[in-house]
Structure 1
Amino acid sequence: MKPLHLEVCGFGPFRRQQTIDFSALDSLFVISGETGSGKTTLFDAISYALYEEPLGKRSKKSIRCDFCGEEDSTWVRFRFEAGGATWEIYRAPHFVRRKLRGTGNTIDQITTLHRIDGAERVALAAKPSEVTKTIVDEVLHLTHEQFSKILVLPQGEFQKFLEEESKDRSKLLRKLFPVSLHEDLVTRVQQHATDLTRKATKLESVLGGSRDRLLGAERDQGMSHREVDAALDDRAAHLKSALADRSTSEAEQHAIAAGARKALEAGRAVQEKLERRVLATARLKRLELQAPEIRLAQAELAAARRGSRAVSALDRFDDLQVRTAEGRKQVEITRTDLVSAERAHTAASLALAQLPAIEAGIESAQNVLTRINERLPRLTQLSTARRHRDEAAEKRDHAAQGAAAQRSEVERLEASWAAFEGLDTRASEALQVRDEAVAAVQGLLRLQEAVEGVEHFAREVLPARQTEQAADSAEQARLEVLLVEARGRLDAARVRWKSADAARLAVHLVDGEPCPVCGGTEHPSPARADGALEVLEALVESAEREVSQSEAVLVQHGRVLTAHATKHDARMAQARAEEVRMVDAGYAEPVLWRAALAEARSREVSANTVWQVVREEQSQAGRVQKQLDAARVRLSGLEREHSAAAQTEASKAGRVTELEAAVGTVVDVGAAIAQARQEQAELDEKVHADKARCTALRRAESDASRTLSARQSQLAEQADKLQSNEQALEVADRALTAALREHEFADVQALKDARRTSDQERILADKVQRWSEDIAAVRRALEELAEALNGVESPDLPLLSAALEVAEKGALEATELRTRAEEAIARFDKERAVHAGALEALQEAVANSAGFIDLNRVLSGNNGKKVKFPDWVLSWWLDQVLVQANTRLRVLSEGRYRLLRRDGDPKDKRKSAGLDLDIFDAQTGHPREVNTMSGGEKFLTSVSLALGLADVIQMNSGAIELDTLFIDEGFGTLSDHFRDLVLEALDELGSTRQVGVISHVKEVKAFIPCQVQLHKSLDGSTVTVRA
């Protein structure tokens, strides 16, 4: 990621829009400014544009500028290069715009992301979450946390990666380096090893259960696989022999059961024939008892068949008799209706004679209506004209009143405008005074850093140095005493050791023999040992180590004293330089500067107050001028409106005079119109009613004539039809008498009694025929049964059934025994196959699982160093980072320091090797923990580590581009020498990436010519760039 352009507005201390063109800056630049001017806020703005979050743990709720008013917007626009493309992000969490409806402003949140291809801008996203996701997943491939720790080293936080625990360092490395494949490999190996182990355990359980079921738990104990196979073969032979015996027994039992079943079936057949003969004899007797009933049915059927031939004449006679009676009844009804119709026709004719008088009344009413209809429109027009005349007069009076009031308003505003004469001159003078006051305050504020430095040195640094010198002197005296004491103990230990060595020689002295030391033959006082020689040698070595350590501690303390003095000298030189700067400005003491600053600020406040008053008067003058112009425009319009209203009134009055001449003198036009409309409605109603009455009279006379004619025609038709039916009835009566004689019926009632329906005749015929067929069939069956049972005895069925039951029970038991034998063989064969398969699978599983289980143990951390495979990969990546970091640290520390990854103790199996870091000190020849380094040393080391991390990521990841590095503070902890080394290293780094440094240290600003300078003011901070 390479920044190109940054714009902020209403963000942090920046109220007005500020712009930084990174493409115009050198590869190494410094950002400087007073405390609180917004140096770190520039990095917060970049982070907020990319991720909608400031750096680190800062809250995004506090990003809006405190100087902003309600109508000021807060936004940031950031353009940068990444992945070979140019991108631009715009985020406005507080954007002020005009309302789409109504008046006033409203607040919006706006976010956009564009990819810039030459002159083309491609919009990619417009939602905050979508923009952030695109930046993380597709553009930078870095999360907000990774960006904060790798590309930006924030103040007070960039040493965390150096000092944090192994597990915390592991979290960041896992996000930066590809170890997901290795973690997946460990998971898959572990899962496969677990599956193989479970499979082997399950197969062992299956194999043991199978042996128990095949041979029994007691016989299975302690048998080898070969012994188990032999026992299984014996068991199989025994089961097959038992099956053969069961099959033979089953065949014999089934043969006995078949003979018993055949004898029982023959006995049941004889018994069935005997029972059928008894039933047939009883049925024959019942049929013979039904013979009289059948003869009566035959006679009834014969009479019904004779009557069916004569029934047509009877039906004809009955039909004509009914129709003739109905015809006579209809003729009487029609004659009554004819009389009623004649009476109605006479009444309608009499009413129709009233028509001429009614029609004359209708014509008279219509003439009156015509006169009323001609007068009504003129009355309505007269009413409308009078109303328009009155309205025009009212508008004329209203316009005259408005014009008079507006003239008064114009005169008042002209008097107010005259009061603002000379305002521009006063405003120019007030602005000049205010600018001079602001410039005076700004000039004094530029000395604030120097004044505060002088006060800080006198108030804190100098007393602290005096306390530090006292503590260092006391510590020096204490260490010298300890060294003297250690040397005394060493001398005493050496004396005791020499004495013990002489005693060792004295043990071998013999009187009369020469001493190997002095050569004398007499030994009056041989030396005696003051303890074991080995113990005394250990005491001497321990004392020597104690003396060496005391000397080393004393030397180290001397270096500390030198470092403290160097650091104090640097601070004193800086304080003196700041004091000289203050004195050169004319302030011998800080209190004089503070008094001058207070006075300047007081003048600034007073000047601002005067300026605000003048600005308010300017605003009031502008508002009065606008009001005066608007009042003059309204007065002109009201005067035109009054003239037009007077002309309209005259025109309306002429129209009223014209209409009054046409309709006559009418005082109350509304009452006249109401009376005319009432008369019109009454006459309309009367005419309508009379016309309806005439129509009804004509319709009644016409309806009565048609009804009379219809009744006369109907009566003639019915009389003719009645005469025809009476003649046909006489003919039908003669035909019925002849039919009764022909078919032997005494009278009509006898014929009706013999008459049957077709269904009744069919039932009688079926009954006679069915009886005849049934009695014949029963007689034939009795003859056949008599022939079949000739000489046959009655069987004993209970005895035969008992014999069959015993035989079938024996056959069933034999079958069950044979089935059990087959099932036993099937279970044995199936279980033996399971046993063989489980044995083979177990042997294969044991052979295959050994390698995976060993691999899983190694990859899961169950190894000599207790390191899991992904952690080992991370440690390899960390080693690559340390190689790159040590390349720079070796230069920055002049070969003294080197970062090491701490391996686990091979003798302590309880702890695993992790990602902890140590620092190797070439002066002592031993590594130590990084927390023991001073602030300046930590700064050198953490900068080297961050650059090394960036180098490794850049070399191994094409997706992540680290073309920029921002460093916030830290140079104040370095001595002049090491500060120069760091700056030279950063300058060299600028050949491959852009480096931005935040610092208020003068030497840093002097070394880096390209500077982004921030200035505080009462209206917010501003940015200037000095190339």
Structure 2
Amino acid sequence: MIPRRLVMSAFGSYAGREEIDFSQAGPGIFLVTGDTGAGKTTIFDAITYALYDQASGGRRDGRMMRSQYAAEDTPTFVEFSFQYKGQDYRIMRSPEYERASKRRGKDGERKRTLERSAVTLFLPDGTEYPGKKAETNRKIVEIIGLDAGQFTQTVMIAQGEFLKLLSARSDERKEIFSRIFQTDLYARMQQRLREEAGALGGQMKDMERQEDQEMARLFCPEEESLLGRLESAALPEERLEAVRLILQYGKSREEAAKRQIGELDKELEKVNRDLAVAQELNRRFDYLEEARKGRAALLENASAVEERQRRLERSREARLVCETFKKREEAGRQKALLEKGIRETAEKIRQAGQQKKELVKSQETALLEEQRCRKEYQVLIGQITQVTDQAARLAGSRAALQKWESQEEAAKDRKKSLEELRKRLPLLRKEETKRDICAQAFEKSRRDYQQAADAYLACNDAFLQAQAGILAKDLREGVACPVCGSFNHPAPAPLPDRAPDQAEVKAARKRRDEAEKEKDRRQQQLLEAGQHCAACLQGLLTEGKNVVGEAFSFEGEGPEPILDREETIRERELQECRRKKEESREQVRQWEELEKKRQSLTEEQAACYARQEEQQKKAALAGDRLRLLEQTVSQAEGEKKARQAQKEQAEAQEEALALEAQKALAVSSFETEDQCRGSLLTEEEKEELEKSQEAYRQKCIEADARVKTLEEQLEGKQPVETQGLTEQKAGLDERRQAAEQEQRRWYSKNENNKDVREHLKKIYEKNRKLKERCARLRLLDQTAGGSLPGRPKIDFESYVQRRYFQQIITFANRRLEAMTGGNFILRCRSMEQLGNRGSVGLDLDVYSLDTGKIRDVRTLSGGESFMAALAMALGMADVISRSAGGIQMKAMFVDEGFGSLDDYSREQAIGVLSELAGSDRMIGIISHVTELKESIDRQLVVTKTKKGSHVRWKH
């Protein structure tokens, strides 16, 4: 991964938009320098945040990322462009933060709104990756090949992090490696082995409890031999044999009970057979007695049956006579209905005549009203035509009014724009004055810096000349020069009369540095003032051309006369628009009055036409109703004649049926018509009497047949005494029930014991397998957990991490030897030297190449610790890159720590980093050490101001 460009907007200590072009750094080492708190580390926080949605320190709060110096309308985002494997990628990411709403509330104030976090990834072909936020984050990790933790250990190396790795205890180092190399898989394997071993131990205890439960469930007869055999059984095989003998004894007792039940069943079968024959004979004698009693009871009801039969016969006779009565009555009802219909038809004819007179009068009135409406309609048509012609002449007045109103508003806007443009001219003069003041201040600071720099160079040259004179004064011919080694000294440097000392040189250099800082500050102020002035000038020029036209310019006579002429023109234009608008408004008023009058006449015309049509409909409706009424009268008269004829026929039929009814009553057994009607039965009564008679006859037949059959079956036989047989059967039943209970009891016990024996077999077999597996798992658990007796306490995860640790130390020592000049190297403590208390395996020692002795890493000095920690961090970066699939990161950033080194160690460390960078790698160092500023040409300078920080390249 090679950084190309970084843009930060309102991020961290940067108030506005800051852009860093990393192509200006090129391959090799560059320095990130600036005051404390200026925002040096924030640059690398922004890179990490763009890639992984978190800063290099792990903070994720968007409110913490947004700059406190930013304006409300400045958005917070980071844009990072980089190249990976020859492909260019670009990421834009913004955090969640609060900002002022673009809209104002009812009170005129802007409320706070929440800006949601977002991320966009642009692929090498320029297209946007289509995934959501989580998918985009995973895609970036897939492209880079490193997660956030690995990235911060290989690319963003913070001083506190790699010093922590150097001085950490074995257990602390284990946590760090677990996070970086993701070795928690092996810890989970350890935990899994421990859990499985514990689970197997629990299963074995469960098997023991199950065995005790099964033995408690076993039924053992009160036999001394069986009890003793069971109590003495210690091994599983002995217990199973004792259970088998108990089961065998129970089977024998069960079979004995079965045999006794069989013998009793044979005796019961004979007794039951004899008792059944006797009981059946006695039941038949009882049935005969009951049948005789039932037949006698039926004979006692004979008189009531005869009475019911007589009622049925009189009902049949009365029904025949009453049929003639019904016919006579029906003829009378028919005659009465016809008389009623004749009266109703006559009334209908009378009402129709009255309605006819009213309809004729209504029709005549409607025709007269229709003629009057037609005349009024013709008059309205003429009035509407006259008003429409007048309104047409004023129809364009509304459009003209809108046109002049629009032109008036446009003229007002142009005049207002001219006024606003004139108000902004003093702001430009103010910015120009401020720019001129900054230019004068910068020129003065530049001259001061040049004087301080010349003074420093003169002082430093005089100091160096003095050093050469001091060395040359002791030279002798034939004696080697301590500088070049020559034995001849043809032109030794003279010793000056007055030479500055080292303190004076440092003071001159300090004055030069302070003057340089002042010059840079003044230059930045001049640059900002010039940018503001140019932006203001460009804004005014653009706005002026938009308002006035291309004639607007700050050259020649200047903008003020141009604005004066333009304002005069616009004022005349505004007055003309207002005059035309008033004329159009009067015409619109006249046109609106005519339109209202036309609308009123049109509505009156429509109402007149509606009344005319309504009267036409009334006249037509009256004519239709007259025709229908005449048809109705004609039909009613015909209906009246038909009903009169039907009435005469009904009267003749009624007289004939009355004579027929008198004759039928005379020949019947009834004296009066009421007596005849009283003998009638309903259908339900008739059906009930018939059913009762039929049921009585059937019962008599069945009773005679039952008595006759039983008398024939029992002829010559007598009832039998059954008490002796019953008592014998009860005794046998009691004995059989006792034998059956004994058989069931032993069957239940035997089935229980059989079940216990099968369960014990399964328990013993499962317990045997569990013991074998548990022994293997306990050994694996102790090995993986580092708890084997007499062995170092190094667990499986630490053992795997130890291999990574040894690789890190190998890579680290290659660079550490170069940094220290072969003074010491790092060593991973050997297995023989590890203790058996606490977590071990990742312990670090220092081996002195000079003395051959080993000492604790915590005995290193501050500078030695920094070099060792830096070497460890570089070694870890190498191992992580290899473990991540040979990923080659072409960029690395180291944060602070060089201040603790002496000049020699610092030069060695820089040399190692330069060698690591080579010709294709970029390494950035964050530091405020003055010597690094002087030795590293390419510098990214971070300047802190009261309104936020700024960055710039310095070569």
Do Structure 1 and Structure 2 share a fold, with TM-score over 0.5? yes
Q: Quick check: 816-825 or 740-749, which moved more?
A: 740-749
Shift of 1:936: 0.7
Q: Is the 8 A contact 1:179 1:870 kept in 2?
A: yes
Counterpart pick for 2:907 among 977, 980, 992? 980
**Residue number in structure 1 paired with 2:178:** 174
Q: Which amino acid aligns with 2:233?
A: M
Q: Which amino acid aligns with 2:338?
A: Q
**Residue number in structure 2 paired with 1:152:** 156
Q: Is the 8 A contact 2:79 2:92 kept in 1?
A: yes
Q: Is the 8 A contact 2:219 2:749 kept in 1?
A: no
Change (3 A) 1:739 1:108: closer
1:323 aligns with 2:260: no
Who wins on radius of gyration, i.e. which is larger? 1
Q: Which amino acid aligns with 1:994?
A: M
**Residue number in structure 2 paired with 1:465:** none
Q: Is the 8 A contact 1:434 1:611 kept in 2?
A: no
3-state DSSP class of the match of 1:54? coil
Shift of 1:206: 3.6
Counterpart pick for 1:123 among 124, 128, 150? 128
**Residue number in structure 1 paired with 2:2:** 2
CA displacement, residues 76-98 of structure 1 (integer Å, 9 cap, x when unaligned): 32222447754321224589999
Q: Is the 8 A contact 2:894 2:924 kept in 1?
A: yes
Change (3 A) 1:23 1:255: farther
**Residue number in structure 1 paired with 2:506:** 578
Q: Which amino acid aligns with 1:327?
A: K
**Residue number in structure 2 paired with 1:1024:** 953
Shift of 1:949: 0.9
Q: Which amino acid aligns with 1:849?
A: C
Shift of 1:115: 5.1
Q: Is the 8 A contact 2:324 2:657 kept in 1?
A: yes
**Residue number in structure 2 paired with 1:135:** 140
CA distance in 2: counterparts of 1:373 and 1:111, whole angstroms: 73
Q: Is the 8 A contact 2:331 2:650 kept in 1?
A: yes
CA displacement, residues 332-387 of structure 1 (integer Å, 9 cap, x when unaligned): 6624752x456556656766786898579647744762575256436856996999
1:204 aligns with 2:204: no
Q: Quick check: 732-741 or 379-388, which moved more?
A: 379-388
Q: Is the 8 A contact 2:24 2:953 kept in 1?
A: no
3-state DSSP class of the match of 1:123? coil
- For residues 791-806 of structure 1, what are the structure 2 equivalents within 5 Å? 791-796=716-721, 800-806=725-731
1:80 aligns with 2:87: no
Shift of 1:943: 0.9
Q: Is the 8 A contact 1:1016 1:1022 kept in 2?
A: no
Q: Is the 8 A contact 1:389 1:652 kept in 2?
A: no
Q: Quick check: 437-446 or 807-816, which moved more?
A: 437-446
Shift of 1:817: 0.9
Q: Quick check: 52-61 or 40-49, which moved more?
A: 52-61
Q: Is the 8 A contact 1:861 1:869 kept in 2?
A: yes
**Residue number in structure 2 paired with 1:511:** none
Q: Quick check: 266-275 or 442-451, which moved more?
A: 442-451
Shift of 1:958: 0.4
CA displacement, residues 141-193 of structure 1 (integer Å, 9 cap, x when unaligned): 54434433432222554412212343332222112325344334323433433
Q: Is the 8 A contact 1:918 1:928 kept in 2?
A: yes
Q: Is the 8 A contact 2:377 2:605 kept in 1?
A: no
Q: Which amino acid aligns with 2:89?
A: W
Q: Is the 8 A contact 1:210 1:835 kept in 2?
A: yes
Runs of 5+ unmatched residues, structure 2 = 221-225, 456-499, 549-562
Change (3 A) 1:302 1:325: closer
CA displacement, residues 848-876 of structure 1 (integer Å, 9 cap, x when unaligned): 43222222222122122122211222123
Q: Is the 8 A contact 1:214 1:232 kept in 2?
A: no
Shift of 1:700: 7.7
Shift of 1:140: 3.3
CA displacement, residues 90-140 of structure 1 (integer Å, 9 cap, x when unaligned): 2245899997999999996674443543xx12322676555444434x233
Shift of 1:930: 2.8
Q: Is the 8 A contact 2:91 2:120 kept in 1?
A: yes
Runs of 5+ unmatched residues, structure 1 = 452-571, 660-668
Counterpart pick for 1:781 among 696, 706, 709? 706
**Residue number in structure 2 paired with 1:558:** none
**Residue number in structure 2 paired with 1:953:** 880
TM-score by length of 1: 0.71
Q: Which amino acid aligns with 2:31?
A: V
Change (3 A) 1:21 1:781: same
Q: Quick check: 835-844 or 945-954, which moved more?
A: 835-844
- For residues 8-157 of structure 1, what are the structure 2 equivalents within 5 Å? 8-11=8-11, 12-13=13-14, 15-22=16-23, 25-33=26-34, 38-56=39-57, 61=63, 63-64=65-66, 68-82=70-84, 85-93=87-95, 111-114=118-121, 116-117=123-124, 120-124=125-129, 130-136=135-141, 138-157=142-161
Q: Is the 8 A contact 1:438 1:604 kept in 2?
A: no
1:719 aligns with 2:644: yes
Q: Percent identity?
A: 21
Q: Is the 8 A contact 2:670 2:676 kept in 1?
A: yes
**Residue number in structure 2 paired with 1:557:** none
**Residue number in structure 1 paired with 2:484:** none
Q: Is the 8 A contact 1:75 1:90 kept in 2?
A: yes
TM-score by length of 2: 0.75
CA displacement, residues 634-684 of structure 1 (integer Å, 9 cap, x when unaligned): 64265266358659979999999xx9xxxxxxxxx999999x999999999
Q: Which amino acid aligns with 2:757?
A: R
3-state DSSP class of the match of 2:840? coil
1:334 aligns with 2:369: no
Q: Is the 8 A contact 2:261 2:736 kept in 1?
A: yes
CA distance in 2: counterparts of 1:604 and 1:955, whole angstroms: 45
Q: Is the 8 A contact 2:193 2:781 kept in 1?
A: yes
Q: Which amino acid aligns with 2:29?
A: L
CA distance in 2: counterparts of 1:447 and 1:877, whole angstroms: 57
CA distance in 1: counterparts of 2:402 and 2:805, whole angstroms: 94
CA distance in 2: counterparts of 1:167 and 1:8, whole angstroms: 39
Q: Which amino acid aligns with 1:78?
A: F
3-state DSSP class of the match of 1:273? helix
CA distance in 1: counterparts of 2:592 and 2:284, whole angstroms: 134
3-state DSSP class of the match of 2:127? strand
Counterpart pick for 2:922 among 994, 998, 1016? 994
Counterpart pick for 1:882 among 809, 813, 818? 809
Q: How many residues end up aligned between the 2 structures? A: 875
3-state DSSP class of the match of 2:27? coil
Q: Is the 8 A contact 2:82 2:89 kept in 1?
A: yes
1:223 aligns with 2:233: yes
CA distance in 2: counterparts of 1:147 and 1:304, whole angstroms: 119
**Residue number in structure 1 paired with 2:770:** 845
**Residue number in structure 2 paired with 1:239:** 250
CA RMSD across the alignment: 5.6
Change (3 A) 1:852 1:605: closer
Q: Which amino acid aligns with 1:632?
A: I
Q: Which amino acid aligns with 2:824?
A: Y
Change (3 A) 1:424 1:280: closer
Shift of 1:811: 0.7
Shift of 1:26: 1.6
Q: Which amino acid aligns with 1:995?
A: I
CA distance in 1: counterparts of 2:253 and 2:592, whole angstroms: 140
Shift of 1:745: 6.9
Change (3 A) 1:824 1:449: farther
CA distance in 2: counterparts of 1:318 and 1:83, whole angstroms: 120
Shift of 1:1013: 4.7
Q: Is the 8 A contact 2:230 2:243 kept in 1?
A: no
CA distance in 1: counterparts of 2:449 and 2:65, whole angstroms: 25
Change (3 A) 1:1012 1:443: farther
CA distance in 2: counterparts of 1:818 and 1:575, whole angstroms: 121
Q: Quick check: 1014-1023 or 929-938, which moved more?
A: 1014-1023
Change (3 A) 1:925 1:61: farther
Change (3 A) 1:708 1:768: same
Shift of 1:25: 0.5
Q: Is the 8 A contact 1:56 1:145 kept in 2?
A: no
Shift of 1:946: 0.7
Q: Which amino acid aligns with 1:293?
A: A
3-state DSSP class of the match of 1:270? helix
Q: Which amino acid aligns with 1:40?
A: T
Shift of 1:809: 1.9
